Structure 1
Amino acid sequence: MNVHVYAGKGENVPVARTNGVELAYETLGDPAAPALLLVMGLGAHLTDWPLEFTEQLAAYGFHVIRFDNRDAGLSTALDDSGVPDIPALMGGDRSSAPYLIADLAADAAGLLDTLGVQRAHVVGASLGGMIAQQLTIDYPDRVASLCSIMSTTGDLSVGRPRPEAAAVIGRPPSASREEVIAGSVAGSRVIGSPGFPATEEYLTARAAAKYDRAYRPLGTLRQYAAVLASPDRTQALRRVTAPALVIHGEDDPLIDVSGGRATAAAIPGSTLLTIPGMGHDLPRELWPRITAAIARNAA
């Protein structure tokens, strides 16, 4: 199976300067078509939205935009902010978080400004779903429709990870490229879709190319601090009026399906799609179903 994975170091991608950071981004499709903004998750790169997945969305008539969040990929690394105190954050002390999910949402709004996009259909996965939710809350006039995938509301009583999945997130940084790749493959096995398992070859190639593009474990830690320090969005989501779709794997070990159900319950008139066998990833076998559901919601 031929799978486009990642571009390597030195790739020539445009950069948007906004909100005090630079965001690397790519676009696909007709610039005159309705914009569809893809927001990825914790430590993820824009390339974690597979190229073929974005091509399927573009085929529905969207101008697809994907980007690296701050502290990930080729976007600005806020290394001067230091290392957040995760145990303190878990205990309620938010002082070491250098930014919040609201700041990541403001980055996304600034990217739309740079591209001259007044309104976009917004699709977010995992942390990207949280950012997409916050973008819809804070900038309602900018969001034509919302799709939140494998995400949650910020209510700590829902969407809780299984212990083995939490251990993947809590794994300390590895010392070598080989260790990083092996750890990534092992982690993908833990949180991935049991009903649609990826091949070892694909997971290894993806992890290797992602490492070579940019490896920023401390940036991932700062993004995680933003999740821990940000407030519950449940009440604010009740004010959302944009057409909303919530997609969640019924076998997601990292963000339990209860997080998706809570998101859908909070947003008036939203549609909930839960998928048996899907974990915390985007299996190739489900791309046609997911992209079709996104297009229906946007319509």
Structure 2
Amino acid sequence: MPRARVNGLELEYDSFGSPADPPLVLVMGLGAQLVTWEVGFCALLAEGGFHVVRFDNRDIGLSSYLDDLPTPDLAALAAGDPASVPYLLSDLAADITGLFDALGFGRAHVVGASMGGMIAQQLAIDAPERLLSLTSIMSTTGDPSVGQPEPAALAGLTRPPATTREQAIEDGVEWFKLVGSPGYPSDEEFLRMKATRNHDRANHPAGALRQAAAVLASGDRTAQLREVRVPTLVIHGESDPLIGVSGGKATAAAIPAAELLLFPGMGHELPRQLWPAIADAIVAHARKA
């Protein structure tokens, strides 16, 4: 896969569809690699008439790691001291505009999932002139009163990293089950394939910790989102155990004229059974914008 030089870093990316079509950039979530945007889903977006780009955020996947930066002190951060936080969501958003520049995109449609939705929201705040449209999926505003995880999901998120490949894969399978969609269950073989692929492609828990610190330190975007005028679609699962559906509802309520699309039975994932419906909604929104 190619790499783009961005803000002194290298971002791994790949693309689908014709470069002559309008660009649509996919932004993934906390600790999640570009392959989490499954090929079949990306193909549906490309078939809708878009040049689709997916990439690894800094500190994850095959993009640059920032292991020379300090390890965040999450206890201090929780107590209100962000001094150990090495970067913020605004820095991750600036990576996207840097990727635009590297790829020759003046403006693009941006679709973010989970933390990727937070990054995309921050981009709409910081550089709205670069966005053709915004789609925020299974994300939230940073307001601590909304979108809170269920206790089991929070426990799974904070579980210590595995020390062996076998345990990492088993932990991955269990995580997918924990945050999956009760209305659209996945078979064990598919979950194991994803967990194995993710681990063997890249395994960098230190980067995920720094990303988590960026989310916690970046605060509540609600007031700033009220000033956003980028055409916005908000998608959320009604059975999301990691970022509760109230986070999606709050996002749609904050951004003027945002459209809210809820899927009963969908958890914190993009289940294969819903790929056509979700892709159709994104394509229709982007075309309208």
Pairs within 5 Å for 1:106-255: 106-255=94-243
Partner of 1:32: 20
> In structure 1, what is the Cα distance between the partners aligned to 2:262 and 2:81?
34
Per-residue Cα deviation, 1:53-78 (whole angstroms, up to 9, x for no partner): 00000000000010000011000111
Partner of 2:272: 284
Pairs within 5 Å for 1:64-79: 64-79=52-67
- Cα shift at 1:296: 1.3
Counterpart secondary structure, 2:49 = coil
> In structure 1, what is the Cα distance between the partners aligned to 2:169 and 2:23?
34
The TM-score, its normalising length taken from structure 2, stands at 0.98
The count of aligned residue pairs is 287
- Cα shift at 1:52: 0.5
- Cα shift at 1:85: 1.0
Counterpart secondary structure, 1:81 = coil
Decide which of 261, 272, 280 is 2:260's aligned counterpart.
272
> In structure 2, what is the Cα distance between the partners aligned to 1:68 and 1:204?
21
Per-residue Cα deviation, 1:255-282 (whole angstroms, up to 9, x for no partner): 0000000000000001001110000001
Structure 1 runs, 4 residues or longer, greater than 3 Å off: none
Matched, 1:100 2:126: no
Partner of 1:7: none
Partner of 2:5: 17
Per-residue Cα deviation, 1:86-120 (whole angstroms, up to 9, x for no partner): 12212211111100000000001100000000010
Gaps of 5+ in 1: 1-12
User: Which amino acid in the other structure matches residue 19 of structure 2?
Assistant: P
Counterpart secondary structure, 2:229 = coil
> In structure 2, what is the Cα distance between the partners aligned to 1:201 and 1:141?
43
Per-residue Cα deviation, 1:155-193 (whole angstroms, up to 9, x for no partner): 011000010000111010110000000011111111111
Per-residue Cα deviation, 1:217-274 (whole angstroms, up to 9, x for no partner): 1100000000010021111111111110000000000000000000000000010011
Matched, 1:43 2:31: yes
> In structure 1, what is the Cα distance between the partners aligned to 2:79 and 2:145?
15
Quote the sequence identity (%).
Answer: 60
User: Which amino acid in the other structure matches residue 15 of structure 2?
Assistant: T
